[in-house]
Amino acid sequence: MTDSRPLIMVSNDDGVHAPGLRHLIDSVKEFGDVIAVAPDAPRSGQASAITVDTPLRITEHDDIDGAKVYSVNGTPVDCVKLGLHAIMPRKPDLMLSGVNHGSNSGNSVIYSGTMGVAMEACMVGVPAVGFSLLHHSIAADFTHTTPYIIDIVRAVLQKGLPADVCLNVNIPAKCVPLGIKVVRAARGYWTEEYKEYSDPAGRPFYMLTGHFHNEEPDNDATDEYWLARKYVSVVPVRPDQTDTAAISTVREILCL
Amino acid sequence: MTDSRPLIMVSNDDGVHAPGLRHLIDSVKEFGDVIAVAPDAPRSGQASAITVDTPLRITEHDDIDGAKVYSVNGTPVDCVKLGLHAIMPRKPDLMLSGVNHGSNSGNSVIYSGTMGVAMEACMVGVPAVGFSLLHHSIAADFTHTTPYIIDIVRAVLQKGLPADVCLNVNIPAKCVPLGIKVVRAARGYWTEEYKEYSDPAGRPFYMLTGHFHNEEPDNDATDEYWLARKYVSVVPVRPDQTDTAAISTVREILCL
Protein backbone atom coordinates (compact mmCIF):
# COMPACT_ATOMS: atom_id res chain seq x y z
CA MET A 1 0.00 0.00 0.00
CA THR A 2 1.40 3.38 -0.99
CA ASP A 3 0.31 6.91 -0.32
CA SER A 4 0.22 7.71 -4.03
CA ARG A 5 -3.00 5.80 -4.63
CA PRO A 6 -6.25 6.93 -3.04
CA LEU A 7 -7.13 5.13 0.17
CA ILE A 8 -10.76 4.00 0.10
CA MET A 9 -12.59 2.80 3.20
CA VAL A 10 -15.65 0.64 2.70
CA SER A 11 -18.41 -0.40 5.08
CA ASN A 12 -22.07 -1.35 5.04
CA ASP A 13 -24.95 -2.35 7.30
CA ASP A 14 -25.68 -5.79 5.89
CA GLY A 15 -22.53 -7.20 7.45
CA VAL A 16 -19.08 -8.31 6.35
CA HIS A 17 -20.41 -11.33 4.47
CA ALA A 18 -22.97 -9.47 2.34
CA PRO A 19 -22.60 -9.86 -1.43
CA GLY A 20 -23.25 -6.12 -1.82
CA LEU A 21 -20.04 -5.33 0.09
CA ARG A 22 -18.09 -7.71 -2.12
CA HIS A 23 -19.60 -6.11 -5.20
CA LEU A 24 -18.70 -2.61 -4.04
CA ILE A 25 -15.10 -3.60 -3.36
CA ASP A 26 -14.85 -5.29 -6.75
CA SER A 27 -16.32 -2.22 -8.48
CA VAL A 28 -13.91 0.33 -6.99
CA LYS A 29 -10.64 -1.57 -6.47
CA GLU A 30 -9.19 -0.01 -9.63
CA PHE A 31 -9.36 3.44 -8.03
CA GLY A 32 -7.12 2.83 -5.05
CA ASP A 33 -6.24 0.76 -2.02
CA VAL A 34 -9.40 -0.54 -0.41
CA ILE A 35 -9.92 -1.47 3.24
CA ALA A 36 -13.28 -2.78 4.43
CA VAL A 37 -14.49 -2.51 8.03
CA ALA A 38 -18.02 -3.88 8.32
CA PRO A 39 -20.34 -5.19 11.04
CA ASP A 40 -19.86 -8.85 11.93
CA ALA A 41 -23.56 -9.50 11.27
CA PRO A 42 -26.46 -7.76 9.52
CA ARG A 43 -27.31 -4.46 11.17
CA SER A 44 -30.06 -3.01 9.02
CA GLY A 45 -32.03 -0.08 10.40
CA GLN A 46 -29.27 0.97 12.78
CA ALA A 47 -29.15 4.59 11.60
CA SER A 48 -26.26 6.39 13.36
CA ALA A 49 -26.47 4.17 16.44
CA ILE A 50 -23.27 3.77 18.45
CA THR A 51 -22.33 1.12 20.97
CA VAL A 52 -21.77 2.49 24.47
CA ASP A 53 -20.66 0.56 27.55
CA THR A 54 -19.94 -2.63 25.58
CA PRO A 55 -16.50 -3.88 24.47
CA LEU A 56 -15.87 -3.78 20.73
CA ARG A 57 -13.55 -6.26 19.06
CA ILE A 58 -11.94 -6.30 15.62
CA THR A 59 -11.70 -9.51 13.58
CA GLU A 60 -9.59 -9.88 10.44
CA HIS A 61 -11.09 -11.79 7.51
CA ASP A 62 -9.78 -13.12 4.22
CA ASP A 63 -9.01 -10.47 1.62
CA ILE A 64 -11.64 -9.67 -0.98
CA ASP A 65 -10.17 -8.85 -4.39
CA GLY A 66 -6.98 -7.62 -2.76
CA ALA A 67 -8.79 -5.51 -0.17
CA LYS A 68 -8.10 -6.04 3.52
CA VAL A 69 -11.31 -6.92 5.32
CA TYR A 70 -12.18 -6.51 9.00
CA SER A 71 -15.34 -6.86 11.02
CA VAL A 72 -16.45 -5.19 14.26
CA ASN A 73 -19.08 -6.56 16.65
CA GLY A 74 -21.00 -3.32 16.52
CA THR A 75 -23.06 -0.94 14.45
CA PRO A 76 -22.15 0.52 11.07
CA VAL A 77 -21.07 3.77 12.72
CA ASP A 78 -18.95 1.82 15.21
CA CYS A 79 -17.16 0.35 12.19
CA VAL A 80 -16.36 3.81 10.86
CA LYS A 81 -15.25 5.21 14.21
CA LEU A 82 -13.19 2.22 15.30
CA GLY A 83 -11.88 1.65 11.79
CA LEU A 84 -10.58 5.22 11.62
CA HIS A 85 -9.17 4.93 15.14
CA ALA A 86 -7.52 1.51 15.06
CA ILE A 87 -7.38 0.05 11.54
CA MET A 88 -6.89 2.63 8.79
CA PRO A 89 -3.21 3.56 8.26
CA ARG A 90 -4.25 7.15 7.57
CA LYS A 91 -7.38 9.22 7.02
CA PRO A 92 -9.02 7.77 3.91
CA ASP A 93 -9.60 9.80 0.76
CA LEU A 94 -13.06 8.35 0.33
CA MET A 95 -15.66 6.44 2.33
CA LEU A 96 -18.06 4.17 0.50
CA SER A 97 -21.00 2.33 2.03
CA GLY A 98 -23.04 -0.55 0.66
CA VAL A 99 -24.07 -1.69 -1.76
CA ASN A 100 -27.11 -2.02 0.48
CA HIS A 101 -29.50 -4.87 -0.12
CA GLY A 102 -32.63 -2.68 -0.16
CA SER A 103 -33.78 0.87 -0.77
CA ASN A 104 -32.72 3.93 1.20
CA SER A 105 -34.86 6.44 -0.67
CA GLY A 106 -37.54 8.77 0.70
CA ASN A 107 -37.33 9.20 4.44
CA SER A 108 -35.54 5.86 4.94
CA VAL A 109 -32.31 7.82 5.17
CA ILE A 110 -33.03 8.48 8.82
CA TYR A 111 -33.13 4.75 9.68
CA SER A 112 -30.34 3.71 7.33
CA GLY A 113 -27.12 2.21 8.61
CA THR A 114 -25.77 2.55 5.09
CA MET A 115 -26.20 6.31 5.31
CA GLY A 116 -25.12 6.31 8.96
CA VAL A 117 -21.72 5.22 7.65
CA ALA A 118 -21.61 7.97 5.02
CA MET A 119 -22.70 10.69 7.45
CA GLU A 120 -20.17 9.62 10.07
CA ALA A 121 -17.33 9.89 7.57
CA CYS A 122 -18.67 13.20 6.27
CA MET A 123 -18.62 14.65 9.78
CA VAL A 124 -14.88 14.00 10.08
CA GLY A 125 -14.16 15.47 6.66
CA VAL A 126 -13.99 12.33 4.51
CA PRO A 127 -15.98 12.52 1.24
CA ALA A 128 -18.59 9.79 1.45
CA VAL A 129 -21.15 8.01 -0.70
CA GLY A 130 -23.75 5.40 0.27
CA PHE A 131 -25.04 3.04 -2.43
CA SER A 132 -28.30 1.09 -2.19
CA LEU A 133 -30.01 -1.32 -4.57
CA LEU A 134 -33.81 -1.42 -4.57
CA HIS A 135 -33.87 -5.15 -3.85
CA HIS A 136 -33.75 -6.77 -0.41
CA SER A 137 -32.68 -10.25 -1.48
CA ILE A 138 -29.31 -11.56 -0.36
CA ALA A 139 -29.13 -13.02 -3.89
CA ALA A 140 -29.87 -9.71 -5.63
CA ASP A 141 -28.09 -9.07 -8.94
CA PHE A 142 -25.73 -6.08 -8.63
CA THR A 143 -24.20 -6.32 -12.12
CA HIS A 144 -25.95 -3.28 -13.59
CA THR A 145 -24.90 -1.06 -10.69
CA THR A 146 -21.19 -1.17 -11.56
CA PRO A 147 -21.06 1.58 -14.23
CA TYR A 148 -22.91 3.99 -11.94
CA ILE A 149 -20.71 3.22 -8.97
CA ILE A 150 -17.62 3.75 -11.12
CA ASP A 151 -18.84 7.05 -12.59
CA ILE A 152 -19.80 8.49 -9.22
CA VAL A 153 -16.64 7.33 -7.44
CA ARG A 154 -14.41 8.67 -10.22
CA ALA A 155 -16.13 12.06 -10.11
CA VAL A 156 -15.98 12.34 -6.33
CA LEU A 157 -12.31 11.31 -6.20
CA GLN A 158 -11.47 13.89 -8.87
CA LYS A 159 -13.63 16.79 -7.70
CA GLY A 160 -14.55 16.12 -4.08
CA LEU A 161 -17.90 17.00 -2.57
CA PRO A 162 -19.30 20.20 -1.02
CA ALA A 163 -18.32 20.59 2.64
CA ASP A 164 -20.57 18.79 5.13
CA VAL A 165 -22.49 16.92 2.43
CA CYS A 166 -22.44 13.23 1.51
CA LEU A 167 -24.34 11.40 -1.20
CA ASN A 168 -27.20 8.92 -0.97
CA VAL A 169 -27.31 6.89 -4.19
CA ASN A 170 -30.22 4.54 -4.89
CA ILE A 171 -30.21 2.23 -7.90
CA PRO A 172 -33.25 0.47 -9.39
CA ALA A 173 -33.22 -3.33 -9.41
CA LYS A 174 -33.42 -5.76 -12.30
CA CYS A 175 -32.88 -3.23 -15.08
CA VAL A 176 -30.23 -1.14 -16.74
CA PRO A 177 -30.98 2.38 -15.44
CA LEU A 178 -32.02 5.02 -17.96
CA GLY A 179 -29.82 7.68 -16.38
CA ILE A 180 -29.06 9.50 -13.16
CA LYS A 181 -30.85 12.34 -11.36
CA VAL A 182 -29.66 14.55 -8.49
CA VAL A 183 -32.77 15.30 -6.48
CA ARG A 184 -34.16 15.62 -2.96
CA ALA A 185 -35.73 12.93 -0.82
CA ALA A 186 -39.46 12.50 -1.38
CA ARG A 187 -41.73 13.54 1.49
CA GLY A 188 -43.64 10.72 3.06
CA TYR A 189 -44.10 8.42 6.01
CA TRP A 190 -44.42 4.74 6.82
CA THR A 191 -47.88 3.21 7.34
CA GLU A 192 -49.31 -0.06 8.66
CA GLU A 193 -46.03 -0.67 10.38
CA TYR A 194 -46.61 -3.79 12.48
CA LYS A 195 -47.99 -7.26 12.04
CA GLU A 196 -49.46 -8.60 15.29
CA TYR A 197 -48.92 -12.16 16.47
CA SER A 198 -49.85 -14.25 19.47
CA ASP A 199 -47.18 -16.42 21.11
CA PRO A 200 -47.88 -19.98 22.38
CA ALA A 201 -48.88 -18.52 25.76
CA GLY A 202 -51.37 -16.17 24.12
CA ARG A 203 -49.30 -13.04 24.63
CA PRO A 204 -49.11 -10.56 21.75
CA PHE A 205 -45.93 -9.60 19.97
CA TYR A 206 -45.25 -7.37 16.98
CA MET A 207 -42.98 -7.49 13.93
CA LEU A 208 -42.05 -4.41 11.90
CA THR A 209 -43.45 -4.25 8.38
CA GLY A 210 -45.39 -1.55 6.48
CA HIS A 211 -44.66 0.51 3.42
CA PHE A 212 -43.54 4.04 2.57
CA HIS A 213 -46.40 6.35 1.68
CA ASN A 214 -45.07 8.88 -0.81
CA GLU A 215 -46.86 12.20 -0.30
CA GLU A 216 -45.71 13.61 -3.63
CA PRO A 217 -45.58 10.78 -6.21
CA ASP A 218 -45.84 13.16 -9.18
CA ASN A 219 -43.05 15.51 -8.10
CA ASP A 220 -40.04 15.18 -10.42
CA ALA A 221 -37.81 16.95 -7.89
CA THR A 222 -37.78 13.79 -5.74
CA ASP A 223 -35.88 10.53 -5.62
CA GLU A 224 -38.96 8.28 -5.54
CA TYR A 225 -40.26 9.81 -8.77
CA TRP A 226 -37.14 8.94 -10.72
CA LEU A 227 -36.50 5.57 -9.09
CA ALA A 228 -40.00 4.51 -10.17
CA ARG A 229 -38.98 5.48 -13.72
CA LYS A 230 -35.80 3.38 -13.60
CA TYR A 231 -33.34 6.20 -12.99
CA VAL A 232 -30.55 6.22 -10.42
CA SER A 233 -31.22 8.87 -7.74
CA VAL A 234 -28.52 10.89 -5.99
CA VAL A 235 -29.55 12.92 -2.93
CA PRO A 236 -27.09 15.28 -1.19
CA VAL A 237 -27.40 14.57 2.52
CA ARG A 238 -26.33 16.85 5.36
CA PRO A 239 -25.49 15.30 8.75
CA ASP A 240 -26.18 18.59 10.56
CA GLN A 241 -29.93 18.62 11.00
CA THR A 242 -30.29 22.17 12.30
CA ASP A 243 -33.04 23.98 10.44
CA THR A 244 -31.53 27.45 10.51
CA ALA A 245 -34.47 28.87 8.56
CA ALA A 246 -36.77 27.96 11.47
CA ILE A 247 -34.76 29.73 14.17
CA SER A 248 -36.60 33.06 13.96
CA THR A 249 -40.03 31.36 13.96
CA VAL A 250 -39.12 29.29 16.99
CA ARG A 251 -37.96 32.45 18.78
CA GLU A 252 -41.40 33.97 18.15
CA ILE A 253 -43.15 30.84 19.42
CA LEU A 254 -41.10 30.99 22.62
CA CYS A 255 -41.61 34.80 22.91
CA LEU A 256 -37.87 35.49 22.78
CA MET B 1 -59.24 10.32 29.69
CA THR B 2 -61.16 12.77 27.52
CA ASP B 3 -60.51 14.30 24.14
CA SER B 4 -60.82 17.80 25.55
CA ARG B 5 -57.41 17.73 27.22
CA PRO B 6 -54.25 17.51 25.14
CA LEU B 7 -52.88 13.99 24.78
CA ILE B 8 -49.14 13.97 25.47
CA MET B 9 -46.93 11.00 24.59
CA VAL B 10 -43.62 10.71 26.41
CA SER B 11 -40.57 8.56 25.72
CA ASN B 12 -36.82 8.61 26.23
CA ASP B 13 -33.66 6.62 25.57
CA ASP B 14 -32.56 6.02 29.16
CA GLY B 15 -35.34 3.51 29.71
CA VAL B 16 -38.65 3.31 31.49
CA HIS B 17 -37.06 3.41 34.95
CA ALA B 18 -34.97 6.57 34.39
CA PRO B 19 -35.56 9.43 36.84
CA GLY B 20 -35.49 11.87 33.91
CA LEU B 21 -38.63 10.26 32.46
CA ARG B 22 -40.39 10.50 35.79
CA HIS B 23 -39.36 14.15 36.09
CA LEU B 24 -40.67 14.95 32.61
CA ILE B 25 -44.02 13.33 33.34
CA ASP B 26 -44.27 15.18 36.63
CA SER B 27 -43.41 18.50 34.94
CA VAL B 28 -46.04 18.29 32.20
CA LYS B 29 -48.94 16.37 33.72
CA GLU B 30 -50.84 19.61 34.32
CA PHE B 31 -51.07 20.18 30.57
CA GLY B 32 -52.95 17.06 29.60
CA ASP B 33 -53.30 13.30 29.69
CA VAL B 34 -49.86 11.72 29.62
CA ILE B 35 -48.95 8.26 28.31
CA ALA B 36 -45.33 7.07 28.46
CA VAL B 37 -43.89 4.41 26.14
CA ALA B 38 -40.20 3.95 26.83
CA PRO B 39 -37.50 1.32 26.22
CA ASP B 40 -37.38 -1.49 28.79
CA ALA B 41 -33.69 -0.74 29.41
CA PRO B 42 -31.22 2.07 28.71
CA ARG B 43 -30.73 2.61 24.99
CA SER B 44 -28.40 5.58 24.77
CA GLY B 45 -26.78 6.33 21.43
CA GLN B 46 -29.45 4.51 19.45
CA ALA B 47 -30.20 7.44 17.12
CA SER B 48 -33.18 6.55 14.88
CA ALA B 49 -32.41 2.83 14.98
CA ILE B 50 -35.36 0.48 14.45
CA THR B 51 -35.69 -3.19 15.30
CA VAL B 52 -36.17 -5.42 12.27
CA ASP B 53 -36.75 -9.17 12.23
CA THR B 54 -37.15 -9.38 16.03
CA PRO B 55 -40.44 -9.63 17.96
CA LEU B 56 -41.37 -6.58 20.01
CA ARG B 57 -43.43 -6.88 23.16
CA ILE B 58 -45.27 -4.29 25.24
CA THR B 59 -45.22 -4.39 29.05
CA GLU B 60 -47.47 -2.29 31.27
CA HIS B 61 -45.94 -0.69 34.38
CA ASP B 62 -47.29 1.12 37.40
CA ASP B 63 -48.64 4.60 36.70
CA ILE B 64 -46.36 7.58 37.29
CA ASP B 65 -48.18 10.62 38.65
CA GLY B 66 -51.38 9.47 36.97
CA ALA B 67 -49.72 8.74 33.64
CA LYS B 68 -50.06 5.30 32.07
CA VAL B 69 -46.61 3.80 31.55
CA TYR B 70 -45.53 1.10 29.09
CA SER B 71 -42.21 -0.30 28.00
CA VAL B 72 -41.09 -1.91 24.74
CA ASN B 73 -38.11 -4.26 24.33
CA GLY B 74 -36.70 -2.11 21.57
CA THR B 75 -35.18 1.19 20.58
CA PRO B 76 -36.55 4.66 21.34
CA VAL B 77 -37.97 4.90 17.81
CA ASP B 78 -39.58 1.47 18.21
CA CYS B 79 -41.36 2.92 21.25
CA VAL B 80 -42.76 5.77 19.17
CA LYS B 81 -43.80 3.60 16.24
CA LEU B 82 -45.30 0.77 18.27
CA GLY B 83 -46.79 3.17 20.80
CA LEU B 84 -48.61 5.06 18.05
CA HIS B 85 -49.68 1.79 16.44
CA ALA B 86 -50.82 -0.22 19.44
CA ILE B 87 -51.01 1.87 22.62
CA MET B 88 -52.09 5.46 22.05
CA PRO B 89 -55.88 5.88 21.87
CA ARG B 90 -55.43 8.57 19.19
CA LYS B 91 -52.70 10.59 17.56
CA PRO B 92 -51.11 12.60 20.36
CA ASP B 93 -51.08 16.38 20.39
CA LEU B 94 -47.48 16.47 21.56
CA MET B 95 -44.50 14.15 21.81
CA LEU B 96 -41.93 14.79 24.54
CA SER B 97 -38.65 12.94 24.97
CA GLY B 98 -36.31 12.79 27.96
CA VAL B 99 -35.35 14.32 30.17
CA ASN B 100 -32.11 12.75 28.94
CA HIS B 101 -29.38 12.06 31.45
CA GLY B 102 -26.62 13.74 29.43
CA SER B 103 -26.05 16.34 26.73
CA ASN B 104 -27.38 16.21 23.18
CA SER B 105 -25.79 19.42 21.97
CA GLY B 106 -23.38 19.96 19.08
CA ASN B 107 -23.36 17.06 16.65
CA SER B 108 -24.58 14.59 19.27
CA VAL B 109 -28.05 14.99 17.79
CA ILE B 110 -27.16 12.44 15.15
CA TYR B 111 -26.46 9.71 17.75
CA SER B 112 -29.22 10.68 20.14
CA GLY B 113 -32.07 8.34 20.90
CA THR B 114 -33.74 11.23 22.69
CA MET B 115 -33.85 13.16 19.44
CA GLY B 116 -34.63 9.98 17.48
CA VAL B 117 -37.92 9.98 19.39
CA ALA B 118 -38.63 13.61 18.58
CA MET B 119 -37.77 13.24 14.90
CA GLU B 120 -39.90 10.13 14.52
CA ALA B 121 -42.94 11.94 15.92
CA CYS B 122 -42.20 15.00 13.80
CA MET B 123 -42.19 12.88 10.64
CA VAL B 124 -45.75 11.74 11.31
CA GLY B 125 -46.95 15.26 12.07
CA VAL B 126 -46.82 15.30 15.86
CA PRO B 127 -45.16 18.40 17.38
CA ALA B 128 -42.15 17.13 19.30
CA VAL B 129 -39.53 18.31 21.77
CA GLY B 130 -36.52 16.48 23.18
CA PHE B 131 -35.12 17.61 26.55
CA SER B 132 -31.60 16.83 27.78
CA LEU B 133 -29.75 17.75 30.95
CA LEU B 134 -25.99 18.24 30.76
CA HIS B 135 -25.32 15.62 33.41
CA HIS B 136 -24.94 11.88 32.85
CA SER B 137 -25.58 10.72 36.40
CA ILE B 138 -28.61 8.59 37.12
CA ALA B 139 -28.86 10.69 40.30
CA ALA B 140 -28.76 14.04 38.50
CA ASP B 141 -30.84 16.86 39.93
CA PHE B 142 -33.57 17.89 37.48
CA THR B 143 -35.32 20.44 39.74
CA HIS B 144 -34.15 23.55 37.93
CA THR B 145 -35.29 22.20 34.53
CA THR B 146 -38.99 22.33 35.41
CA PRO B 147 -39.74 26.01 34.63
CA TYR B 148 -38.08 25.69 31.22
CA ILE B 149 -39.92 22.50 30.37
CA ILE B 150 -43.20 24.12 31.38
CA ASP B 151 -42.60 27.31 29.37
CA ILE B 152 -41.61 25.43 26.22
CA VAL B 153 -44.41 22.87 26.44
CA ARG B 154 -47.01 25.57 27.05
CA ALA B 155 -45.80 27.58 24.05
CA VAL B 156 -45.70 24.55 21.73
CA LEU B 157 -49.16 23.38 22.79
CA GLN B 158 -50.56 26.87 22.21
CA LYS B 159 -48.77 27.79 18.99
CA GLY B 160 -47.49 24.56 17.46
CA LEU B 161 -44.18 24.27 15.63
CA PRO B 162 -43.16 24.93 12.01
CA ALA B 163 -43.90 21.97 9.73
CA ASP B 164 -41.21 19.26 9.66
CA VAL B 165 -39.26 20.77 12.56
CA CYS B 166 -38.85 19.50 16.11
CA LEU B 167 -36.93 21.03 19.00
CA ASN B 168 -33.72 19.91 20.70
CA VAL B 169 -33.57 21.49 24.16
CA ASN B 170 -30.43 21.23 26.27
CA ILE B 171 -30.33 22.44 29.85
CA PRO B 172 -27.19 23.17 31.90
CA ALA B 173 -26.66 21.11 35.06
CA LYS B 174 -26.34 22.21 38.65
CA CYS B 175 -27.45 25.81 38.17
CA VAL B 176 -30.49 27.95 37.56
CA PRO B 177 -30.16 28.89 33.88
CA LEU B 178 -29.70 32.57 33.00
CA GLY B 179 -32.15 32.36 30.10
CA ILE B 180 -32.92 30.60 26.87
CA LYS B 181 -31.43 30.91 23.36
CA VAL B 182 -32.71 29.55 20.05
CA VAL B 183 -29.58 28.75 18.05
CA ARG B 184 -27.99 26.21 15.72
CA ALA B 185 -25.89 23.20 16.63
CA ALA B 186 -22.19 23.98 16.99
CA ARG B 187 -19.88 22.52 14.36
CA GLY B 188 -17.45 19.96 15.68
CA TYR B 189 -16.45 16.35 15.91
CA TRP B 190 -15.53 13.72 18.48
CA THR B 191 -11.86 12.94 19.18
CA GLU B 192 -9.86 10.28 21.04
CA GLU B 193 -12.88 8.08 20.83
CA TYR B 194 -11.69 4.72 22.21
CA LYS B 195 -9.86 3.40 25.21
CA GLU B 196 -7.97 0.22 24.39
CA TYR B 197 -7.89 -2.79 26.74
CA SER B 198 -6.44 -6.27 26.73
CA ASP B 199 -8.64 -9.18 27.82
CA PRO B 200 -7.33 -12.06 30.00
CA ALA B 201 -6.29 -13.93 26.85
CA GLY B 202 -4.30 -10.94 25.61
CA ARG B 203 -6.75 -9.96 22.89
CA PRO B 204 -7.52 -6.26 22.46
CA PHE B 205 -10.92 -4.71 22.90
CA TYR B 206 -12.16 -1.15 22.78
CA MET B 207 -14.63 0.99 24.74
CA LEU B 208 -16.14 4.20 23.40
CA THR B 209 -15.04 7.41 25.12
CA GLY B 210 -13.70 10.71 23.78
CA HIS B 211 -14.94 14.27 23.82
CA PHE B 212 -16.62 16.72 21.48
CA HIS B 213 -14.21 19.13 19.84
CA ASN B 214 -16.09 22.38 19.24
CA GLU B 215 -14.76 24.01 16.07
CA GLU B 216 -16.38 27.36 16.86
CA PRO B 217 -16.27 27.93 20.63
CA ASP B 218 -16.59 31.72 20.29
CA ASN B 219 -19.60 31.70 17.98
CA ASP B 220 -22.70 33.00 19.77
CA ALA B 221 -24.96 31.54 17.07
CA THR B 222 -24.36 28.05 18.48
CA ASP B 223 -25.75 25.89 21.27
CA GLU B 224 -22.38 25.06 22.83
CA TYR B 225 -21.57 28.76 23.27
CA TRP B 226 -24.69 29.44 25.32
CA LEU B 227 -24.69 26.16 27.26
CA ALA B 228 -21.18 27.00 28.45
CA ARG B 229 -22.59 30.30 29.70
CA LYS B 230 -25.41 28.62 31.64
CA TYR B 231 -28.21 29.27 29.15
CA VAL B 232 -30.76 26.75 27.93
CA SER B 233 -30.28 26.07 24.20
CA VAL B 234 -33.10 25.32 21.76
CA VAL B 235 -32.14 24.04 18.30
CA PRO B 236 -34.78 23.54 15.58
CA VAL B 237 -34.07 20.12 14.06
CA ARG B 238 -35.24 18.86 10.68
CA PRO B 239 -35.59 15.09 10.14
CA ASP B 240 -35.24 15.48 6.36
CA GLN B 241 -31.50 15.67 5.80
CA THR B 242 -31.59 16.58 2.10
CA ASP B 243 -29.25 19.51 1.43
CA THR B 244 -31.24 21.11 -1.36
CA ALA B 245 -28.71 23.93 -1.66
CA ALA B 246 -26.09 21.38 -2.71
CA ILE B 247 -28.11 19.80 -5.54
CA SER B 248 -26.79 22.06 -8.30
CA THR B 249 -23.17 21.64 -7.17
CA VAL B 250 -23.52 17.87 -7.08
CA ARG B 251 -24.99 17.94 -10.60
CA GLU B 252 -21.87 19.77 -11.77
CA ILE B 253 -19.59 17.30 -10.02
CA LEU B 254 -21.38 14.43 -11.76
CA CYS B 255 -21.39 16.31 -15.11
CA LEU B 256 -25.19 16.24 -15.32
User: What distance in Å separates the CA atoms of residue A88 and residue A79, rounded to the nearest whole number?
Assistant: 11
Q: Quote the minimal CA–CA distance from B4 to chain A in Å.
A: 23
> For residue B177, which phi and psi values (nearest 5 degrees)?
-60, 155
pLDDT per residue as tens digits for the range B76-133: 999 999 999 999 999 999 999 999 999 999 999 999 999 999 999 999 999 999 999 9
Whether residues A56 and B165 touch (CB distance < 8 A) is answered with no
CB of B117 closer than 8 Å to CB of B21: no
What is the ipTM, given to two decimal places?
0.95
Does the beta-carbon distance from A247 to B180 stay under 8 Å? no
Chain A residues in contact with B47 (beta carbon < 8 A): 46-50, 116
What is the structure's pLDDT at B192? 81
Identify the helix (H) or strand (E) that includes residue B79. Answer: helix B76-82
What pLDDT does B210 receive? Answer: 85
Give residue-wise pLDDT tens across range A42-63: 999 999 999 998 999 999 999 9
| Confidence bin at A210 (pLDDT 50/70/90) | confident
User: Which backbone phi and psi does A59 adopt, to 5 degrees?
Assistant: -120, 135
Determine the Cα–Cα distance for residues B33 and B5; give it in Å rounded to an integer: 7
Question: A123–B107: do the CB atoms touch at under 8 Å?
Answer: yes
What value, to the nearest 5°, has the Cα angle with vertex B35 and ends B31 and B37? 140
Of the partner residues B125, B189, B240, the one whose CB lies closest to the CB of residue A185: B240
Looking at residue A240, its pLDDT comes to: 96
Condensed to tens digits (0 to 9), the pLDDT of residues A85-136 reads 999 999 999 999 999 999 999 999 999 999 999 999 999 999 999 999 999 9
The predicted model gives A170-194 an average pLDDT of 94
B151 burial (CB, 10 Å; 0-12 / 13-18 / 19+) is middle
Q: Is residue A246 within 8 Å of B122, Cβ to Cβ?
A: no
Neighbours of A249 (CB within 10 A): 16
**The predicted structure's pLDDT at residue B3:** 57
Asked whether residue A2 carries a pLDDT value surpassing 60, the answer given is no
The shortest C-alpha distance from A33 to chain B (Å) reads 23
Tell me whether A161 touches chain B (CB under 8 Å).
yes
Beta-strand relationship, B7-11 and B33-39: parallel
Which B residues in the span 98-157 are in contact with A, Cβ-Cβ below 8 Å?
107, 109-111, 116, 119, 123-125, 151-152, 155-156
The per-residue pLDDT for A1 is 46
Q: Would you state the pLDDT for residue B150?
A: 98
- The pLDDT of B132-156, averaged and rounded, is 96
pLDDT in tens, B187-228: 999 988 899 999 999 999 999 998 899 999 999 999 999 999
Please state, in angstroms and rounded to a whole number, the distance separating the CA atoms of residues B116 and B48. 5
Q: Is A234 close to B250, i.e. CB distance below 8 A?
A: yes
Distance CA(A29)–CA(A175), nearest Å, equals 24
Question: Average model confidence (pLDDT) for chain A?
Answer: 96
pLDDT in tens, A3-57: 589 999 999 999 999 999 999 999 999 999 999 999 999 999 999 999 998 999 9
Residues of A in contact with B239 (CB under 8 A): 107, 110, 241
**Are the Cβ atoms of A234 and B241 closer than 8 angstroms?**
no
Closest by Cβ to B167, choosing from A190, A244, A250 = A250
Label residue B1 by pLDDT band (50, 70, 90): very low
Please, what is the average pLDDT of chain B?
A: 96
Judge: A254–B185 Cβ closer than 8 Å, yes or no. Answer: no
- Cβ within 8 Å of residue A91, ≥6 positions away: A7, A84, A124, A125, A126
Chain B residues in contact with A80 by the CB 8 A cut-off are: none
Q: Is the peptide bond before A99 cis (omega within 30 degrees of 0)?
A: yes
**Longest alpha-carbon distance in chain A:** 63
Assign A192 a pLDDT band (cuts: 50, 70, 90).
Answer: confident
